[in-house]
Structures are given as structure tokens and as C-alpha cells.
DNA sequence: AAAGAAACGTTAACATGATAACGAATTCGT
DNA sequence: ACGAATTCGTTATCATGTTAACGTTTCTTT
């Protein structure tokens, strides 16, 4: 992140704002809780970030059918920002991969996924919210960048 | 850490304070810079933490021969605290190990060490400060807890 | 249906992470 | 020897992590 964060800063977003936008740009819409779990952000942090991104018109918040829920969507501008920065993000993953070698890299990502999944299970005692990803291109359910 | 942090809190130390004390109790003395690198803490954070721990008599700061350096040592009380909490820390590592299995656990720790070492190298472009640890019991140069 | 419990977000308060600007001490080049 | 560049640590500032306390809305229980 030491390498990627400066690029994010030039683009006007912080590290966590980036993770939020990235996650949102991959789906249509989510409620805040889903989003928080998807990217491992606590609700207090997410609240602040969404409030900020909302004012800057990068995301859009609205009430759900269940009016406790806050439905969030990335706006056009938000998605455009992600499109613009994604290549720089990919570049960092390739850097990590080349530092370890493809084989070790994939093994590391897999082991980390396994660890996160298993630890999550008995944290919440059963209600595993961590979904499997059969996609071999997936680099883990919690992309750092 | 979600499991260990509450125990630390009851003992009156934060997560990073714990890491500082743990590192110091394993050596005789270090200057602030060495310490920061050893446990991956930025100097601004370390400064605040050492100032705090110093007032609470858990560590002791003094000037080195080179008077730019701050030599730091854990006091008796500091070491006693680590002795008292170490078993609880070990317990967490065993939990992680049992979640992955011994084989995967060791492999994960090794891969992470490798990654950290290699990324560090070309961050600083050559002046690798990351020392090897031949000790098989070592769990990585940056114990989280 | 009404009181209580639970779920979802928000806000508050404090500790930490990150970056930059600074002060003090030391080393270098001339 | 002297001024510039370095090194080490501190301080300032802002964003985030963490925990707890709340306000709303919904679900449960009776």
C-alpha cells in the first residue's frame, strides 16, 4: 500500500474509500452491513466514509424496504474513478506476485483465504458470511487494493 | 486480535504497547529506530507509545553515545507484565495454528516472512534490515501478538 | 396490541496509522 | 574548520480502527 496509496491520494481518495468504491463498482447495490463485511470495514468507519463519498457524489445512499437498511450504490462518477485507477491497482498485485513467484503467491492467497474463513466461522459461531470464490482469478475475498 | 485485545485492555495496555513491550523484553536494549523496524511501527506512533510507557515506568528512555539516539529498555515492571500475558498470547497462536493445521500454519508463516523480506528489499533498495531468524520456533519477525 | 428484545446505523471518544514539517545532533565535502 | 546535507526523533494533522452508547426500526413475546 505504501506504493499505491500515493496514487490514490493524487486521485483524491483514501485507501478505505478506494476499497469501498471498488467493492461497490462490482455490484449493483448493497446495504451498508453487507458492504462492511465484504471489505472488512467496521460500521463506524464505513459510516464516515459513506457520508464523505456521498457528499462528493461518488456514492448514493437511500433507505431500503426495511427502513433500517441503508442501500448504497456507486454513482457514474464513482464507477468511472474505479475504472481509471484499476490498472494501477492490478500493477501492485503483479508486483507482489513477482516478488514471491506465481506458485507461492497463489498458495499464499489461498492459505490466507482459508485462515480468514476458518477464523470467521467460530468468531460468529456458525453464521459464516464468507462466500467461496470459485473464480481462480479471485485474489481473496478481501482485496487490499 | 479481536480475541486478545480485550485481555490486553484488562491488563492496561493497548495492542501496540504490547508489541513494544514484547519486543523489548526479548532484548536488553535498543534504540528507537531499531525497535520501530523490528515491529513495523512508524516512528510517530512509537514516539507517542514510548512517551506513555515511559511515564508509566514500563520502559525507560535514555540518550545514547550518539545523542540523536534514544535508547530504550523494558523496566522490571515492563518485563513482568510481558511474563504475565505471554501465556495468553501463545494461546492465540495455537488457535490460529489449529485453525489451519500445523503444516499449513508453518507454511503460511514462512510465506509471509518471505514476502515481507522481499518487499522490504526493494522498498529500501538494498539496505535490507530484516534479519533472518534461524530459530524454528520463531513465528515471523513481526509477531502480531 | 404493548413491552421488551434484536437488528442496523450513527455518533462519540480515544488510540493508532500516515504524511509532512521540524528541531537537534552528526557526518560530509571542501 | 565551516556550512550543507543526513540522520534520528518529535510534533502536527488528518483519516481510520476500536469500543461503547444511542436512536430507529423491526421482530418477539406475552
pLDDT digit string (tens) for chain A, length 145 residues: 888 999 999 999 999 999 999 999 999 999 999 999 999 899 999 999 999 999 999 999 999 899 999 999 999 999 999 999 999 898 888 888 888 889 988 998 888 878 777 766 554 443 344 444 434 445 555 666 6
Query: How far, in Å, CA of B43 to CA of B64, rounded?
Result: 17
Which of helix, strand or coil describes residue B134? coil
D2 C1' – B67 CA distance, angstroms? 21
Give me the pLDDT at residue A129, please: 42
- In this prediction, residue A115 carries a pLDDT of 76
Residues of chain B with pLDDT under 50: 123-136
Contact, B21 vs B58, CB < 8 A? yes
Q: How many other CB atoms sit within 10 Å of the CB of residue B82?
A: 20
Instruction: Give me the pLDDT at residue A143, please.
Output: 67
Which stretches of A8-123 are assigned E, i.e. beta strand? 30-31, 59-63, 70-74
- Dihedral Cα B69, B74, B75, B76, nearest 10 deg: -160
Could you give the CA distance from residue A141 to residue A139 in angstroms, rounded to a whole number?
Answer: 7
pLDDT at B143: 67
Q: In what order do the strands lie in the sheet with A59-63?
A: A30-31, A70-74, A59-63
- The pLDDT, as a whole number, for residue A132 is 42
- Confidence at residue A140, expressed as pLDDT on a 0 to 100 scale: 58
pLDDT at A138: 53
Task: Check residue B133 and give its pLDDT.
Answer: 42
Closest residue to C15 by CA to C1' distance? Answer: B14
Q: Flag whether residue A6 sits within 8 Å of chain B, measured between CB atoms.
A: no
- B114 CA – D9 C1', rounded, Å: 30
Cβ within 8 Å, pair B100-A107: no
Name the DSSP letter for residue B58. S
pLDDT at A139: 59
Residues B23/B41, Cβ–Cβ less than 8 Å: no
- CA distances (Å), origin A118, targets A38, A51, A130, A145: 16, 33, 9, 23
What pLDDT is attached to residue A120?
62
Domains for chain A: give ranges and CATH numbers. 5-124 (1.10.10.10)
Q: Taking phi first (over 0 means left), then psi (-120 to 50 degrees means alpha), and beta for anything else, what does residue A136 get?
A: alpha
A 61-120 residues with CB below 8 A of B? 96, 99-100, 104, 107-108, 111-112, 114-115, 118-119
Amino acid at each position: 500500500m505504501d506504493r499505491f496509496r500515493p496514487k490514490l491520494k493524487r486521485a483524491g481518495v483514501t485507501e478505505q474509500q478506494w476499497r469501498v468504491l471498488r467493492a461497490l463498482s462490482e455490484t449493483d447495490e448493497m446495504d451498508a452491513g453487507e458492504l462492511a463485511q465484504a471489505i472488512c470495514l467496521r460500521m463506524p468507519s464505513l459510516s464516515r466514509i459513506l457520508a464523505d463519498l456521498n457528499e462528493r457524489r461518488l456514492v448514493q445512499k437511500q433507505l431500503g424496504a426495511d427502513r433500517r437498511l441503508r442501500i448504497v450504490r456507486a454513482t457514474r462518477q464513482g464507477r468511472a474513478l474505479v475504472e481509471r485507477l484499476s490498472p494501477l491497482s492490478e500493477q501492485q498485485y503483479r508486483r507482489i506476485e513477482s516478488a514471491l513467484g506465481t506458485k507461492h503467491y497463489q498458495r499464499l492467497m489461498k492459505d490466507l483465504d482459508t485462515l480468514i474463513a476458518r477464523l470467521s466461522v467460530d468468531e460468529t459461531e456458525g453464521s459464516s458470511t464468507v462466500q467461496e470464490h470459485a473464480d481462480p482469478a479471485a485474489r481473496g475475498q478481501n482485496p487490499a487494493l
